[in-house]
Amino acid sequence: MNSLMPLGILHRQRRLHFVGIGGAGMSGIAELCLRLGLAVSGCDLQRNSTTARLQGLGIVIEYGHHPSHLGIELDALVISSAVKFSNPEVAAARDMKIPVISSAEMLGELLRMARLGVAVGGTHGK
């Protein structure tokens, strides 16, 4: 990926938009960012129990992918590995010079802030 932000992103960014916020990994990262006091919004293709829970926490979620979902004061766009750079929101963010951050990089930043990090690996049976 290119145009990703350097380390220390959480110290400079206050308004984040998550593309694919309803996914298992993205939803957890978005919730952590919200609990850290960041302004979080997001989008996903479909409503589900995860998006409903996040909306209950106060996160504004749009459905579908459209450049209009990006706020004018957005500091960064967070994308999962499933989101392509051809996604309309990603393309618009890049045109607007809004930094695009991978979910893996955002998770790394969150772990760097913690005193202790625990990771569980594997694909099944966790």
CA distance 66 to 9: 24
| pLDDT score recorded for residue 92 | 94
pLDDT tens, position by position, 49-86: 999 999 999 999 999 999 888 977 888 999 998 899 89
Range of weakest confidence among 3-12, 25-34, 50-59? 3-12
Tell me the C-alpha to C-alpha distance, in Å, between residue 48 and each of 51, 61, 78, 99: 5, 11, 20, 28
Confidence of residue 121 (pLDDT cuts 50, 70, 90): confident
- Domain range summary for the chain, segments of one domain joined by +: 18-111
Considering only residues 7 and 108, tell me which one the structure prediction assigns the higher pLDDT: 108
pLDDT(1) > 50: no
**CATH code reported for the domain at 18-111:** 3.40.50.720
The pLDDT value recorded for residue 12 is: 62
Consecutive H or E run containing 61:
strand 60-63
Specify the pLDDT at position 41.
96
Q: Alpha helix locations (H) across the chain?
A: 9-12, 24-35, 49-56, 88-95, 103-113
pTM of the model: 0.83
User: Which residue bears the tokens 């979620």?
Assistant: 61
List the beta bridge partners of residue 78: 18, 101
